[in-house]
């Protein structure tokens, strides 16, 4: 069984890693922005809870990474990323509607 299906697997892996990191940084930047808008008065507790939940999820990922195959880990990451993106857009839409209704 071949470990690599095409020439330049290292470059493809590096490109995928770069794109995952870029997407993660953009997503986190937008999350911090929307947390600041939604919880402007209580931003410190909101950011604390966000980082706490994020740390718990990272710890769980480290725990299950030794037990799940890579394909299942990737499937889980894609599914949770998709659900997280949908939830982000839902919260952003609700926030925009709330701001529009509050303006005179």
Could you read off the pLDDT tens digit of each residue along the chain, which spans 104 residues?
Answer: 456 555 667 888 888 889 888 888 888 888 888 888 888 888 889 899 989 999 999 999 999 999 999 889 989 988 998 998 899 899 889 988 988 888 87
- Report whether 73 contacts 65 (CB < 8 A): yes
- Report whether 95 contacts 38 (CB < 8 A): yes
Q: Please give the span between the terminal C-alpha atoms of the chain, in angstroms, as a whole number.
A: 67
């Amino acid at each position: 069984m071949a470990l690599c299906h095409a020439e330049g697997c290292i470059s493809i892996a590096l490109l995928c890693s770069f794109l995952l990191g870029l997407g993660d940084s953009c997503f986190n930047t937008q999350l911090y922005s929307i947390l600041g808008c939604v919880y402007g008065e209580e931003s410190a507790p909101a950011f604390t809870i966000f980082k706490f939940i994020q740390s718990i999820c990272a710890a769980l990922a480290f725990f299950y990474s030794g037990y799940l195959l890579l394909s299942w880990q990737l499937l889980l990451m894609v599914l949770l990323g998709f659900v997280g993106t949908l939830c982000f857009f839902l919260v952003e839409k609700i926030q925009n509607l709330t701001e529009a209704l509050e303006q005179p």
